[in-house]
């Protein structure tokens, strides 16, 4: 820490206090002086805002803490040793102090706020609570910059407040190697929560959680159907840990949840196939964004390339392909091409295209 110096007046004042010539009254919160000093420095200062010694003493007075300057210099050094970086810089004849590096930089906090705002699985109420907590990790001036980008109220958000406890329960079950029991619901036309399977509990072995399309999903093994399934966490109710050990370990020994998410478009299931696509060169970025850089893009001619990818073939996958326009085409395998033609016929009949 630089610049923790005091002037001649401070020295004279300190000597008078030490000799008992001047009596310093003790505040009601004297034992909390270091805590309140840290609070003041963290809240009132940052790289663009500093505080002088008289201002520090005035702020401490607000907390009913009295102190002489010499003790504050020592306390600032103590804070610095504790990991709260204190920087002192001369401005004219006065030193100005501010906190240097923090646990989170403002840019990092903005990223976290953006993630919270855009997450549908976090309710509006919880989003605002989390953002307020993040504001407490920066100065009051930086907190205003976070507040200006908060637009939670207009976002589409889940209405299931229990999702945080659901996630915690799932993690606990995974750690304990236990199955979980839960009910699963959907919305009906009356905008009411309607339990699926007439409220019968699902009995699933949880193996992981993934975040896709702004939703949280449980990925687990259904022993009854002997397949891997996924469930929206915000649609799960009354999660309970089972006494039974998890099953399906052999399916998850080398299971890649990220790859599983890439294959299932919008997390809709379907039979997994190795699909060959013929794409315009302009769509290379779209393909890489979806399937990653490890795929092989093989030139077909000067304007197009082919790529083979593993996908769960569903209407959602076909819809994604249709949205890319005439520059995207499935060329194999034949059964998938036939499936796409059937979907085109279904749409033509539905919209009476002649």
Exposed, middle or buried, 296 (CB in 10 Å: 0-12/13-18/19+)? Answer: exposed
Verify that 138 and 194 share a domain, yes or no.
no
Shortest CA distance to 83 belongs to which of 46, 42, 142, 141?
42
Tokens standing for 217? 């999903």
Verify that 284 and 323 share a domain, yes or no.
yes
Burial 85-101 (b: 16+ CB within 10 A, else e): ebbbeeeeeebbbbbee
Verify that 126 and 76 share a domain, yes or no.
no
- ∠293-294-297 over CA atoms, to 5°? 80
Residue 8: the pLDDT is 44
Q: How many domains does the chain have?
A: 4
Tokens standing for 193? 């929560």
Residue 246: the pLDDT is 94
The DSSP H or E segment spanning 332 is strand 328-332
Verify that 132 and 54 share a domain, yes or no.
no
Exposed, middle or buried, 291 (CB in 10 Å: 0-12/13-18/19+)? Answer: middle
Burial 112-145 (b: 16+ CB within 10 A, else e): ebeebbebebbbbebbbebbeebbebbbeebbee
DSSP of 95-147: EEEEE---SS-HHHHHHHHHHHHH-TTS-HHHHHHHHHHHHTTS-HHHHHHHH
Residue 10: the pLDDT is 45
Question: Coil, strand, or helix at residue 93?
Answer: coil
Verify that 191 and 243 share a domain, yes or no.
yes
CATH number at residue 280: 3.30.70
In a domain, 157, yes or no: no
Angle between helices 124-135 and 106-118 (to 10 degrees): 170
Q: What is the pLDDT of residues 142-153, one digit of tens each?
A: 988 876 555 545
In a domain, 156, yes or no: no
Number of residues written out for the chain:
354
- What domain range includes position 173? 163-255
Residue 26: the pLDDT is 63
pTM above 0.85, yes or no: no
Residues of the chain with pLDDT under 70: 1-28, 147-161, 189, 191, 213-214, 257-270, 353-354
Verify that 135 and 215 share a domain, yes or no.
no
- Rounded distance, CA 352 to CA 354, Å? 6
Verify that 142 and 91 share a domain, yes or no.
no
CATH number at residue 40: 1.10.10.10
């Amino acid at each position: 820490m630089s610049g923790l110096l005091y002037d001649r007046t401070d020295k004279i004042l300190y000597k008078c206090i030490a000799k008992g010539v001047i009596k310093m009254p003790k505040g009601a919160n004297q034992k909390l002086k270091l805590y309140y000093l840290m609070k003041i420095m963290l809240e009132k200062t940052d790289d663009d805002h500093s505080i002088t010694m008289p201002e520090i003493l005035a702020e401490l007075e607000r907390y009913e803490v009295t102190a002489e300057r010499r003790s504050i210099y020592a306390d600032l050094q103590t804070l610095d040793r504790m990991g709260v970086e204190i920087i002192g810089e001369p401005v004219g004849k006065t030193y100005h102090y501010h906190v240097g590096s923090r646990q989170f930089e403002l840019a990092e906090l903005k990223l976290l706020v953006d993630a919270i705002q855009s997450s549908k699985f976090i309710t509006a109420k919880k989003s605002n609570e989390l953002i307020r907590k993040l504001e407490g990790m920066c100065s009051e001036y930086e907190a205003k910059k976070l507040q200006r980008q908060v637009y939670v109220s207009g976002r589409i958000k889940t209405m299931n407040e229990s999702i945080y406890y659901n996630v915690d329960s799932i993690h606990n079950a995974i750690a304990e190697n236990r199955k979980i029991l839960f009910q699963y619901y959907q919305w009906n036309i009356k905008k009411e929560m309607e339990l699926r399977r007439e409220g019968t509990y699902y009995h699933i072995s949880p193996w992981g959680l993934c975040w896709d399309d702004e939703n949280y999903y449980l990925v687990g093994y259904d022993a009854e159907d002997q397949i891997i399934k996924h469930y929206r966490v915000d649609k799960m109710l009354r999660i309970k840990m089972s006494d039974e050990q998890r099953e399906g370990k052999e399916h998850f020994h080398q299971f890649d949840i990220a790859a599983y998410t890439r294959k299932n478009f919008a997390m809709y299931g379907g039979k997994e196939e190795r699909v060959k696509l013929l794409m315009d060169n302009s769509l290379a970025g779209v393909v890489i964004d979806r399937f990653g850089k490890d795929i092989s893009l093989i030139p077909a001619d000067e304007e197009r390339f082919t790529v083979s990818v593993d996908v769960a073939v569903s209407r959602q996958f076909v819809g994604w392909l249709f949205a890319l326009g005439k520059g995207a085409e499935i060329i194999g395998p034949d059964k998938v091409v036939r499936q796409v033609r059937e979907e085109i016929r279904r749409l033509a009949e539905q919209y009476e295209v002649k």
